[in-house]
């Protein structure tokens, strides 16, 4: 630990006798002062004067009140030296000399202000001889240098500056931004007016009135009862109505915030007052009222971002003047680097936000294939704050046919080989069909390229027997799906478990059955096709990850074939609406049935679309939609444009 020193500490205790004979100081049976000095040091180390004898018994309570603010700070006190002295005064009445014996104890203090910093100094305490013993003539200066009668002590926490979260090329994403804390100033209201003002404030700010009134009435007469914290831009419309309420107060402050309220909110997380649970679990590292990360990256990397608080011991004199006795500066938090591209992230937020607050859950993930950098991860309002983009678990539908196509290529099928695409097919008593508006011209004998371009379910199901056990999962692994890695944040890579039935195997071929993926996982599939290898996505470049190599890595020939198949979706298939998007775009649409049938017997459907263009791979998901091309497609197109 690094000490902060005031004064010096003697190495050994020294006793200096001013007189030559013990009889002068009271006889051979006199107690030495070292015993009382040692008792004093032991009591002070326990933040009290214990049972040490005092010249003025009132000093015991005065000291307890003075030192109380430091009760939680560990302290060690030792006797560094004891020096005795005597004074001889003549007594005119008796004509005899009177001897007064005193001792000065040098006390060495060491306060452990933080885990890394200590405060060390020396003080002196006066001991006075009474009979055969010694008593302490206590004064505030024996506690800390320059303390005087009437002074009070305080311990202040010096908060560190929280680290920023940065994006691509070090651009700041989350930093301290201005906010307004709206609430009720109880110094301005009393009695029944507290409840009346609290109810009006709750209505204006759209918070639960009963709860806010209850808190307002329960808190002390000088409390500020916070109702809500708003960004300055969001607060402009609140001010006129709020200002008319008696006792209403808006306090300016700052909070670590992203550029907008929606900006990667589920991924980045939020900061706020520590919950009781966090305080309890921290083992003293977090105190009530501390601002900490409560979710997302802010929570996972809270220790790094939050830094280490400093502390200061202050004294206030009788004239209310404040001075600092010692200060340990805080250690500011360190920034957390991410790969998010601010422009692309905002574009993703805008695309999903255009659907409005009543839209179903939506998500969009964009990855740079060349290095795996996660450029955007957005969730629409329908996600309800959940990070569906990264952790959602859904049947990927026909976007999974990219994986299925790889498995068929590995079975020996070529992209030009002919497959049969009937209107329906039956597997073990279960009927499978194509989507409702499947083009009739694409039925019958077609090539594998046409089957992928038009997304023919029956053609792929009809070739399920060509894919040996485990080969579908191996193809998924070659494209980065289904193999978990700790990327430093919660993420779902998807699953392709072995089918238990023949119908299950058929459903797996078209991305249903037991196959699951997140938008993040399907963006990884698209990125892997474009990169020609299993891409390991990277969001936190400083977080080291050892990639688990695929059981059977993707080859250059396989990647080229898959890129050609995805391109055919745009040139001649279900993604033709992307033809005039600049650049060479490859894509795959997807629709997956889920849940329970509606009144007409129809199952709701997830809508998906994945795409590549240059060094960009994108996945778009809509929890409930008509089809991939009709529902997810326009969102993807808007993002690419």
Say if CB 369 and CB 612 are below 8 A apart. yes
According to the model, what pLDDT value does residue 237 have?
65
According to the model, what pLDDT value does residue 288 have?
81
Rounded CA-CA distance 316/628 in Å is: 70
Return the percentage of the chain with pLDDT > 90, whole number.
82
Strands 117-130 and 133-137 come out as: antiparallel
Asked whether the predicted pLDDT for residue 14 surpasses 50, the reply is no
Coil, strand, or helix at residue 76? strand
Say if CB 519 and CB 494 are below 8 A apart. no
Structure tokens at 510: 């078209």
Beta-bridged to residue 374, according to DSSP, are 367
Which region holds residue 519: left if phi is over 0, alpha if psi is between -120 and 50, else beta?
Answer: alpha
Alpha helix (H) ranges present in 157-295? Answer: 192-205, 209-218, 232-235, 239-243, 265-268, 276-281
User: Of the candidates 118, 38, 106, 31, which has an alpha carbon nearest to the alpha carbon of residue 74?
Assistant: 118
Say if CB 362 and CB 379 are below 8 A apart. yes
* Residues composing the chain: 641
User: Of the candidates 461, 374, 394, 388, which has an alpha carbon nearest to the alpha carbon of residue 424?
Assistant: 461
Beta-bridged to residue 2, according to DSSP, are 117
- 110-134 burial, b for 16+ CB within 10 Å, e for fewer? bbebbeebbbbbbbbbbbbbeeeeb
Say if CB 546 and CB 427 are below 8 A apart. no
Rounded CA-CA distance 582/616 in Å is: 13
The pLDDT of 426-441, averaged and rounded, is: 92
pTM: 0.85
Say if CB 363 and CB 382 are below 8 A apart. no
Say if CB 415 and CB 561 are below 8 A apart. yes
- Identify the band that residue 437 occupies on the pLDDT scale cut at 50, 70 and 90: confident
Say if CB 136 and CB 54 are below 8 A apart. yes
3-state helix, strand, coil split of the chain in percent (to 5) is 30, 30, 40
According to the model, what pLDDT value does residue 21 have?
33
Asked whether the predicted pLDDT for residue 511 surpasses 80, the reply is yes
According to the model, what pLDDT value does residue 6 have?
53
Q: Find the range with the poorest average confidence among 15-24, 102-111, 326-335.
A: 15-24
According to the model, what pLDDT value does residue 96 have?
63
User: Of the candidates 104, 111, 120, 119, which has an alpha carbon nearest to the alpha carbon of residue 40?
Assistant: 104
Rounded CA-CA distance 329/318 in Å is: 27
Q: Interhelix angle for 401-410 vs 471-478, to 10°?
A: 110
Asked whether the predicted pLDDT for residue 30 surpasses 70, the reply is no
Residue 16 burial (10 A CB sphere; 0-12, 13-18, 19+): exposed
Nearest-5° angle of CA 472, CA 474, CA 479? 100
Q: Find the range with the poorest average confidence among 107-111, 176-180, 285-289, 373-377.
A: 285-289
Tell me the DSSP string of 291-305: EEE-SHHHHHTHHHH
Asked whether the predicted pLDDT for residue 258 surpasses 50, the reply is yes
Strands (E) across 112-262 are located at 117-130, 133-137, 152-158, 165-166, 172-185, 224-231, 248-257
Return the percentage of the chain with pLDDT > 70, whole number.
93
According to the model, what pLDDT value does residue 36 have?
97
Contacts 24+ apart (CB under 8 A), 603-610: 605/397, 606/394, 606/395, 606/397, 607/631, 607/632, 608/396, 608/397, 608/398, 608/399, 608/522, 608/632, 609/399, 609/575, 609/633, 609/635, 609/636, 610/399, 610/402, 610/522, 610/523, 610/525, 610/526
The pLDDT of 423-427, averaged and rounded, is: 95
Longest CA–CA separation in the chain, Å: 135
Q: What is the average pLDDT score of the chain? A: 91
Alpha helix (H) ranges present in 532-612? Answer: 556-572
pLDDT digits (tens, 9 = 90+) for 453-489: 999 999 999 999 999 999 999 999 999 999 999 999 9
């Amino acid at each position: 630990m690094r000490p902060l020193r005031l004064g010096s500490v003697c190495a050994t205790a020294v006793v200096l006798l001013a007189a030559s004979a013990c009889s002068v100081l009271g006889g051979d049976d006199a107690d030495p002062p070292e015993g009382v000095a040692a008792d004093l040091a032991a009591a002070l180390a326990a933040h009290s004067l214990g049972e040490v004898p005092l010249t003025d018994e009132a000093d015991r309570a005065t000291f307890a009140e003075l030192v109380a603010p430091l009760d939680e700070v560990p302290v060690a006190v030792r006797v560094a030296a004891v020096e005795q002295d005597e004074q001889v005064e003549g007594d005119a009445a008796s004509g005899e000399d009177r001897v007064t014996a005193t001792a000065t104890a040098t006390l060495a203090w060491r306060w452990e202000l933080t885990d890394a910093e200590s405060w060390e100094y020396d003080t002196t305490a006066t001991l006075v001889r009474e009979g055969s013993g010694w008593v302490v003539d206590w004064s505030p200066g024996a506690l800390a240098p320059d303390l005087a009668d009437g002074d009070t002590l305080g311990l202040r926490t010096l908060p560190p500056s929280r680290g920023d979260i940065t994006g691509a090329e070090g651009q700041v994403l989350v930093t301290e931004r201005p906010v307004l804390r709206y609430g009720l100033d109880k110094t301005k209201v009393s009695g029944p007016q507290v409840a009346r003002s609290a109810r009006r404030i709750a209505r204006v700010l759209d918070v639960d009135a009963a709860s806010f009134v209850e808190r307002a009435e329960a808190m002390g007469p000088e409390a500020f009862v916070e109702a809500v914290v708003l960004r300055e831009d969001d607060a402009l419309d609140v001010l006129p109505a709020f200002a008319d309420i008696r006792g209403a107060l808006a306090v300016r402050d700052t909070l670590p915030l992203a550029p907008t309220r929606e900006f990667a909110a589920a991924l980045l997380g939020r900061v706020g007052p520590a919950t009781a649970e966090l305080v309890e679990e921290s083992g003293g590292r977090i105190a009530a009222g501390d601002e900490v990360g409560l979710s997302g990256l802010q929570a996972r990397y809270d220790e790094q971002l939050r830094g280490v608080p400093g502390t200061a011991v202050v004294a206030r004199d009788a004239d209310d003047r404040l001075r600092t006795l010692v200060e340990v500066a805080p250690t500011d938090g360190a920034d957390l680097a991410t790969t998010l591209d601010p422009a692309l992230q905002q574009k993703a937020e805008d695309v999903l936000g255009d659907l409005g607050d009543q839209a179903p859950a939506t998500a969009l993930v964009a990855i740079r294939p060349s290095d795996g950098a996660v450029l955007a991860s957005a969730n629409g309002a329908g996600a309800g704050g959940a990070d569906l983009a990264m952790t959602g678990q859904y049947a990927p539908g026909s976007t999974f046919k990219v994986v299925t196509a790889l498995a068929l290529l590995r079975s020996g099928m070529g992209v030009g080989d002919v497959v049969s695409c009937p209107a329906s097919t039956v597997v073990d008593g279960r009927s499978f069909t194509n989507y409702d508006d499947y083009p009739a011209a694409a039925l019958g004998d077609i090539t594998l390229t046409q089957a992928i371009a038009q997304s023919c379910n029956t053609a792929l199901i009809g070739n399920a027997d060509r894919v040996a056990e485990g080969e579908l999962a191996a193809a998924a692994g070659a494209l980065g799906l289904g193999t978990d890695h700790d990327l430093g944040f919660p993420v779902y890579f998807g699953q392709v478990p072995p089918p238990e039935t023949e119908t299950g195997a058929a459903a797996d071929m078209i991305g249903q059955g037991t196959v699951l993926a997140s938008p993040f996982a399907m963006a990884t599939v698209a990125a892997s096709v474009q990169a020609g290898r299993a891409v390991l996505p990277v969001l936190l470049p400083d977080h080291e990850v050892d990639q688990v190599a695929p059981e059977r890595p993707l080859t250059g020939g396989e990647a080229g074939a898959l890129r050609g198949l995805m391109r055919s979706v745009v040139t001649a298939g279900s993604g033709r609406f992307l033809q005039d998007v600049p650049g060479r775009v490859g894509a795959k649409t997807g629709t997956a049935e889920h849940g329970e049938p509606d009144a007409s017997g129809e199952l709701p459907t997830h809508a998906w679309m994945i795409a590549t263009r240059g060094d960009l791979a994108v996945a778009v998901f809509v929890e409930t939609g008509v089809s991939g091309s009709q529902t997810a497609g326009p969102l993807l197109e808007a993002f690419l444009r």
